[in-house]
Structure 1
Amino acid sequence: MKQNPLPETKVSSEEFIEFDDTVFYTETLAKIYTEQGFYKRAIDVYAKLILLYPEKSSYFASLVQELKTKNNQ
């Protein structure tokens, strides 16, 4: 049985997001960083999650705001 190849997808340079493929960006990782006091790292993970899961962007953005407040104290 012959399979049809998937259609080629064009991505403009504006849509391309650079991710470090050796890191798994998860909410759990961000929570661990937060618990350990690594607020900047947690903020960076949440920023990536906002791009990966735009449907949860307002939730992640509120967590980022909380972390920025904690980081400035």
Structure 2
Amino acid sequence: EHELTLVFVSHDLTVVRHLCDRIAVMQSGRIVEQGGTAEVYAAPQQPYTQSLLDAVPRLPEPGQDRGTGPGQTGRPA
């Protein structure tokens, strides 16, 4: 639309997903994967990219069991 390029560096993958059309994933200073943001999120090709996406916290779907974590009983007090 504006023929503008912006390099946006972030550790917040949720913001990246909503702000960027294309994404490049860097590991140790090297680009290990790049492509359209939707495509990289849907089907990452590199294990490092998959591990980054797996680390993004997600809220459970409505009605889905929230599970338990350390110090949690799984039931509200």
Q: Same fold by TM-score, threshold 0.5 exceeded?
A: no
Structure whose residues are more often helix by fraction: 1
Which TM-score applies when normalising by structure 2? 0.27
- Whose RCO is larger (CA < 8 A, sep 6+)? 1
When you count strand as a share of all residues, which structure comes out higher? 2
